Amino acid sequence: MRQRDENPARFHTTCWGLVAEAAQGDREGQRKALGQLLTQYLPALRAHLIHGKGFQPDVADDLVQEFVLSKILQKDLIAQANQQLGKFRTFLLTALDRFLINRARDARAKKRCPDDGVQQEIAAQAECRQAGQEPSKAFARAWAHRVIRAGLDRMRLECEAAGRPDVWGLFECRVVGPILEGAPLPHYRQLVERFKLQSPRQAMNLFITAKRMYARCLRSVIAEYAGTEQEIQTELVDLWNVLAQG
């Protein structure tokens, strides 16, 4: 199985709680909160630049880094975020897009002088969006991927803590591996052998326990940035829609 690069603790504080801490906390609190926020959102911003805007990965890395330095750190962007105005990730994405437009404008102004190439690419990419792809789709996909991974990590930890490696094991090899890792689907016979299942009823009960546990973990991850039950459901539907539409 692929080595996971996500830390399940990343979602342990609510997103808006982190935003408030990053904007108004003491210096140490601000630093920590900002660190956690960036860890949560930067991969999705990077995905937006690469898959939504068509930048080369190294250029996307440079842009994200510059965005963090010039907008988030120097201009205190986080302090302007307002929960009443919508999702934090939409706020962040809008800020990134504006940043790109400004960069493109700068690049056009600099066309008279020699350029490093990156500026040219920014100008070109910002001016022509990729046909048929919503600019935020890659971002939402990356976010969905991250949320799913966090839910799975949480489930795995819960199973370990509860002494139920069978619940995680069955879910991992029958669902997670084939869907997320491209692993072959293990045959029912292999599951019976590996998990010493006494009957199909036990197999199904184990699977349903796993699925319910995963659903609860996934919802708890989303609950940390979507406040109410209705917002959690809306977020699930939004993420599902963006993925199901391909």
Partner 1 sequence: MEDQGSFGIAPWRLASMLDLEAEGKGLWQSDELGAVLQHQLAARWDAALGAPGAVSAGGFPEPAPQDAPIGSVADLLSHPHPPVEWLERLKEFAKDCHRNPDRTLPDEVTAVLYLLSIVVARIKCPRRISRLDDQSLRYSLDWALSQPWLDATSRKIFKEGLEACTAEIPRRMSAECG
Q: Does 142 bind partner 1 (CB under 8 A)?
A: yes
Alpha carbon distance 241, 13 (integer Å)? 26
The distance of closest approach from Cβ of residue 76 to partner 1 in the complex, given in angstroms and rounded to an integer, is: 29
Cβ proximity to partner 1, 103 vs 146, nearer residue = 146
Residues contacting partner 1: total by CB under 8 A: 43
Smallest CA-to-CA distance from 87 within 220, 232, 229 is with 232
Which pairs from 213-216 meet CB under 8 Å and 24+ separation?
Answer: 213/155, 213/158, 213/159, 213/167, 213/171, 214/151, 214/152, 214/155, 214/171
Please tell me whether residue 50 binds partner 1 under the rule CB under 8 A: yes
60 touching partner 1, by CB under 8 A: no
Does 244 help bind partner 1 (rule: CB under 8 A)? yes
Sign of the Cα torsion 47, 231, 151, 244 reads negative
Q: Does 100 bind partner 1 (CB under 8 A)?
A: no
Closer CB to partner 1, 112 or 201, in the complex: 201
Candidates 146, 141, 167, 140; CA nearest to 156 is 167
Question: According to the binding rule CB under 8 A, does residue 188 interact with partner 1?
Answer: yes
Residues that bind partner 1 (CB under 8 A): 47, 50-51, 138, 141-142, 144-145, 148, 174-175, 179-180, 182, 185, 187-189, 192, 197-205, 207-208, 211, 214-215, 218-219, 236, 239-240, 242-246
